Amino acid sequence: MKAKGACLPSLDTPYLKRPHGRPRNSSTYMFGSSSYYDRQFRQSPALIRARKPYLVKNAVVGSAVAAFAIGVYIYTIRAIGQDEFEDVKVPDTPVQSSQK
């Protein structure tokens, strides 16, 4: 009879161990041993230099996407605001009978 969870491999098996020996739940697992972040997870000068050529282009594209979204929103609000909804049939108020 198998014990509960016996079909799962343990962490001692060689194919589940991390090659660098760090535990799975450490913060270095998320970021790796990258030279782009220091111990306080701040950007290093190398990362800032690597991102610098894309800064203006990303800002322009982000601004264009935001302007498009705002334009669609404003157009939609104005288009709905001009509609009189004359084609919508509103039901009459129900007649209440006074039966006692």
pLDDT at 54 over 90: yes
Is residue 40 pLDDT above 80, yes or no? yes
Domain boundaries of the chain, sorted by first residue: 27-82
Cβ(55)–Cβ(49) below 8 Å: no
pLDDT reading at 77 higher than 60: yes
Centre a 10 Å sphere on the Cβ of residue 76 and count the other Cβ atoms it contains: 10
Across the chain, which distance is largest between two alpha carbons, in Å?
86
Q: Is the pLDDT of residue 75 over 70?
A: yes
What's the pTM value of the predicted model, to 2 decimals?
Answer: 0.47
CA distance 80 to 25: 52
Give the integer Cα–Cα distance in Å for 100 and 61.
71
Q: Per the structure block, which two tokens stand in for 3?
A: 């014990």
pLDDT category at 65 given cuts 50, 70, 90 is: very high
B/e letters for 34-68, b = 16+ CB within 10 Å, e = fewer, are eeebeeeeeeeeeeeeeeeeeeeeeeeeeeeeeee
